[in-house]
């Protein structure tokens, strides 16, 4: 099985590009809010129970997918590239798939902040992510994450780059690309077949 981890900052298009990538490849989409939204209805974001449950659900879905006959799974993730714990989490997902005989690939999406602020309120995003429907709060969160975390490569070397360099990796600037165009670039970069 192919595990394609699509990472990048908030509202960069991880879910929409992942959806388009699944349409091209026949893979299944497992976007990060698939686990966040149901748990958020019970426990506050960032609380210990929230973090434990979301982490466990993600790990278990990836384990089951790795042992299944699925051709591939596209997982989306907001990854602070200077957080050693988050890098270990990504590494653990890749190990699960590799131990089962599969392959892990990393897709990094980049779009400038102005474009991401525009995308923050798109209908598809808000339909899939109930917690983003408070647009002012979502906007503040996007700006705070940009200020506090390293969510793309291209600046000073990050803690994550050793892991990134050991795996197939493509960085796609999708500021001016449709989700379909970005997905086509990913398919071409990794020679993914349907």
**pTM, two decimal places:** 0.91
Q: What is the mean pLDDT of residues 31-43?
A: 89
Per-residue model confidence as pLDDT tens digits over 168-188:
999 999 999 999 999 999 999
Query: HEC profile for 22-40?
Result: HHHHCCEEECCHHHHHHHH
Could you tell me the residue ranges of all domains in the chain? 2-187
Q: What is the mean pLDDT of residues 24-42?
A: 92
Per-residue model confidence as pLDDT tens digits over 102-141:
999 999 999 999 999 987 766 665 565 555 566 677 889 8
CATH T-level assignment (fold) for domain 2-187: Rossmann fold (3.40.50)
pLDDT band at residue 84 under the 50/70/90 scheme? very high
């Amino acid at each position: 099985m192919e595990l394609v981890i699509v990472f990048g900052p908030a509202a960069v298009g991880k879910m929409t590009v992942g959806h388009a990538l699944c349409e091209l490849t026949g893979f299944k989409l497992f976007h990060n809010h698939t686990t966040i939204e149901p748990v958020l209805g019970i426990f506050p974001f960032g609380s210990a129970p929230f973090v434990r449950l979301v982490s466990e659900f993600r790990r278990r879905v990836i384990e089951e997918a790795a042992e299944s006959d699925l051709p591939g799974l596209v997982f989306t993730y907001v990854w602070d590239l200077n957080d050693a714990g988050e890098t270990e989490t990504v590494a653990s997902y890749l190990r699960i798939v590799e131990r089962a005989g599969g392959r892990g690939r990393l897709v990094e999406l980049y779009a400038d902040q102005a474009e991401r602020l525009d995308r923050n309120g798109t209908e598809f995003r808000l339909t899939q992510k109930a917690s983003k429907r408070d647009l002012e709060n979502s906007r503040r969160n996007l700006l705070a994450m940009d200020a506090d975390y390293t969510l793309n490569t291209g600046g000073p070397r990050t803690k994550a780059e050793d892991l990134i360099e050991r795996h197939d990796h493509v960085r796609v600037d999708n500021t001016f690309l449709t989700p379909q165009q970005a997905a086509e670039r990913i398919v071409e970069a990794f020679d993914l077949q349907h």
